[in-house]
Each structure stands twice: as structure tokens, then as C-alpha cells.
Structure 1
């Protein structure tokens, strides 16, 4: 989770002022707070998350200790391949995360019917990635979503208009689900070469090759 810090400073002469930090990782924020407290110059320190919730240090420490045991530092790569002749699409998702300080990867693909376009298939691939997060019980934290579909990424960022009713349906569904889960989405448009894993999973789905795996990775 990322937070901003509100630090109420109290000088030896009794001068008070409040300072605000940039958004930083909660664990780093706690380190900074501890360092500030060593100087006995803080009247109070409050941490504010992306939803506007306010935490004191004790609450944030408890939260970060709990989050270590749950999936965190999550990145979702998604892609889709669309067959215009059959209106079928292959969806691919590769999800990287940490749990109990150990890195993991999930790879999953899916073949779906009745798609109207490649753009719709890309949206549905992202929906499938979110379903995996739901199965992992991911909640109330930022998650990176990376794909090579400029349409999906830029529409979800609000930088491009979404005029098609079908795509609007999926965009609304994604936003509602992420809000319910308390996830702060960080969307990133990446080159195809950096999305090779999800692309290959989608291609295999179109070949009727099903892949569904979870693996603990070696630490780098």
C-alpha cells in the first residue's frame, strides 16, 4: 500500500507546522516516521492511503504485518488474441506477486466465444486477471495492470474516450469490481515485446491448449 504522510512538526520554541510527503510505500513511510520520532520534534504523524483513510503508526504497523502474509506487490500482465472468422478469443494473464516474502507467478489462459472485436477481448482478458486476484483474496492495495492494448489502457486511464457500448460495459464492470475490492489500479501501456508471456498464453488458448499454473519463483 502507498500512503502520504502528514507530519505535525513542533520546534523547541513551540512553533508548529504541518508537512506533507509524496506518496510512498507504507513500509518506507514507517521507517521515515521512526526516524522523525528519534528527534522528538513531531507532535503527530498521520498516514493517509489512496482511499483517504487515515492511519496512526500503530495501525499501519499492524496492517503491514498482516499484509506480509497476503499477496502483495502485485503485477498483472494481460493480453488477448481475436479470431475474426469464429469470433473466438484467446485470453492470457501472467500475475506476479509476493507472499510471506516469497515471489510467486500465476499463468492462466482461457478460450472464449462470442467476442465482437480484439478490443473487447483485451478488456475481457483484464477481467479474467481481476478474477484471479479475487480468488487470491487481494484487497485494499495498489495493483499494477500492464498490457499492450493502447485502447484499453488509455480508456481506463480516462485519456481516450470510450464510445462503444460494449467496451463501456466492460470498463464500467472493471471499475466497479476494483472499487469493491479496494484496489487502486495502476495502468501501464507496455510494448508487445514486454508482454510476450501473456501474448503467448493467449495464442495457446486459441490453439485449444489450456494453461493454469502457480509457481514459487527463485529470489533474484
Structure 2
């Protein structure tokens, strides 16, 4: 969940204007709000979450203490690859999140058979991502889901129609799993370059290189590749 700060700024001569920030992560919102208050120029400061909730700075700090030991500020990337001559597909997933004040990264891939196209591999990779979120108890929250498949993400967002029955089945599986996990997705198509990490993992899976890694970004890996 992200948060936006709104406040009235007062100059030394008592002139006032209303200001607001972009949406920020939980920790960023608290850091900036604290700083604004400490200047002594911020009046009537309020914080609003993306779900329409309204918070005081004190309430948001209390909420942070409650959720600090749960994964939050989650950004997840996925990619699916397909090799026509061998009919082998590969999935690549990268998940970034914060927990107990530390930042973590999960990198995982999977090699599968039985799919029929690169498009189907993209749908299956997205479902693989959602299942991985559930396995790591990243549930009951908002998650940014990024990938370079415009088709899959825009169809999941309801922006583009899906006419192929086989792909509709994949969309239903993804949406049902998200609902089951109480995950509110925010879909964000990105360039292939920005999705390079997940793309590389998918390619490695096709080539038979298995990756399973969970790393604390400011420490040692909990599991080795």
C-alpha cells in the first residue's frame, strides 16, 4: 500500500499554500511527514492511502509497528519464454519486499513442458508468480506486478479483451488465485530491458539451469542458487 501526504505550508510571514506529495511507500511517507512536521511550517498535515483511508502521522507509525514483521512494499516481476523446436517453456520471477526493516529479493525459475506458445508461457509465468507470492506468505495486501507482456497485463487489468478460450482459462486461474490470497494487484507493463532479471531467469530455466534464491539485500543470501 502506498500513501500520499497533504499539508498546508506556512511561510514566516504567515502566507499559506496547500501542498501534496506523490504516492510513497509506508516508510517513505513516515520519513517525509516527520521531516515536514519538524520544519514547523507544515500545518494540518494528513496522510491518505491508495484505498481511500485517512491517517494521522501517529496512526501511520502505529500501523508500521504492527506490520513491520510482515512482508510489505512488494514489487514483483515475471517473464515467460518458449522454445518452439523443443516445446519447452521457462518461467522467471523476481520479488522485492520489505520485512522487519530489511529488504529482500526472491529469484526463482521453473522449466515446464506441455505449453504451446510464448504467449501461453507468459500467462503461465504470471500464475507461477502469484503462487510464489502465496508460498512466501505475501498475501492480503497490494502488490505491484510488472512484466513486459503488454497483452497479459492489460487483459488482467481489464483494459484489453481476450478472445482466445485457452488464454481466458489462464486469466481466470490468475484472478481466482489473487482473490483467494486477498492480493490487490497493480499491473504495470515495463520494457524488456527493465524486465531483464526475470527474462534471464526464464532463459536459464529453458536451458536447464535452476535458480532458487532468497536474499537479504543488505546481508548474506538465506538460500544459495
Distance 1:131 1:202 in 2: 16
Distance 2:181 2:51 in 1: 12
Distance 2:144 2:93 in 1: 13
Q: Tell whether the 8 Å contact from 1:50 to 1:184 is kept in structure 2 after alignment.
A: no
* 1:128 counterpart = 2:128: yes
Q: Which piece of structure 1 moves more, 175-184 or 152-161?
A: 175-184
Cα distance, 1:159–1:108 mapped onto 2, change above 3 Å: same
State the Cα distance separating 1:191 from its structure 2 match: 1.1
Distance 1:178 1:54 in 2: 25
State the Cα distance separating 1:50 from its structure 2 match: 5.5
Cα distance, 1:60–1:178 mapped onto 2, change above 3 Å: farther
- Residue 194 of structure 1: SS of its match in structure 2? coil
Q: What does 1:188-199 align with in structure 2 at a 5 Å threshold?
A: 188-199=188-199
State the Cα distance separating 1:180 from its structure 2 match: 2.5
Following TM superposition, where does structure 1 have runs of at least 4 consecutive aligned residues deviating by more than 3 angstroms? Answer: 2-5, 21-33, 47-63
Q: Tell whether the 8 Å contact from 2:87 to 2:115 is kept in structure 1 after alignment.
A: yes
Q: Which residue of 1 aligns with 2:142?
A: 142
- Residue 159 of structure 1: SS of its match in structure 2? coil
Q: Which runs of 5+ in 1 are unaligned?
A: 6-20
- Residue 213 of structure 1: SS of its match in structure 2? strand
- Residue 194 of structure 2: SS of its match in structure 1? helix
- Residue 90 of structure 2: SS of its match in structure 1? strand
Q: Which residue of 2 aligns with 1:208?
A: 208
Q: What does 1:1-220 align with in structure 2 at a 5 Å threshold?
A: 1-2=1-2, 25-26=25-26, 61-218=61-218
Cα distance, 1:170–1:50 mapped onto 2, change above 3 Å: farther
- Residue 192 of structure 1: SS of its match in structure 2? coil
Q: Which runs of 5+ in 2 are unaligned?
A: 6-20, 220-225
Q: What is the CA deviation profile of residues 51-96 of structure 1, one whole-angstrom value per residue up to 9, with x for unaligned ones?
A: 6778888875544222211111111111111122333201111111
Q: Tell whether the 8 Å contact from 1:147 to 1:190 is kept in structure 2 after alignment.
A: yes
| TM-score (norm: length of structure 2) | 0.74
Q: Which residue of 2 aligns with 1:12?
A: none
